[in-house]
Structure 1
């Protein structure tokens, strides 16, 4: 199955330091807080959540320039946070400031 695309807008709450994987790839971990009004089962409801995200390579370098409080749109796919983790994270392919 190829259907694994996610896009979410929110406010950066945490941003890790730029680091490098053993293979030399730039990595930044971040969290964003999302608040919106959605419709579920025909009824409106408020949605609030915090999403963990991981940015690699050139996207990591862009993410490293963000500051807490910045409002962004993140697009990417859902996968394990890392090879050794079962935690879910958004692996970011695109960052757009809002």
Structure 2
């Protein structure tokens, strides 16, 4: 089983001494047990994803292949 998804990351970094908000959304695919785990996470679920990047078959952009899903760390004050 393979599952196509979209992963989104948002954070704030310091660049040239000034804070900058950055975000990225990338197409992803999970196969086998990772597909089941990603499906169980659900839309909007938060986690840490590990894997590798490769070109899409059509040569337009990249796709992330998910090989590990870990629970997201809870920040103080968040439930």
Calculate the TM-score normalised by the size of structure 2. Answer: 0.74
Structure scoring higher RCO (CA < 8 A, sep ≥ 6) equals: 1
User: Which residue is equivalent to 1:68?
Assistant: 43
TM-score (norm 1): 0.62
1:69 match: secondary structure: coil
Partner residue, 2:24: 49
What's 1:94 paired with? Answer: 68
Q: Deviations over 1:43-79 (max 9, x none)?
A: 3311022121111122112112221121111111110
CA contact (8 A) 2:26 2:62 kept: no
Between the aligned partners of 2:26 and 2:47, the Cα distance in structure 1 is 12
Q: What do residues 1-20 of structure 1 show as CA deviations (whole Å, max 9, x unaligned)?
A: xxxxxxxxxxxxxxxxxxxx
Matched, 1:85 2:58: yes
Runs of 4+ aligned structure 1 residues displaced above 4 Å come to none
Partner of 2:76: none
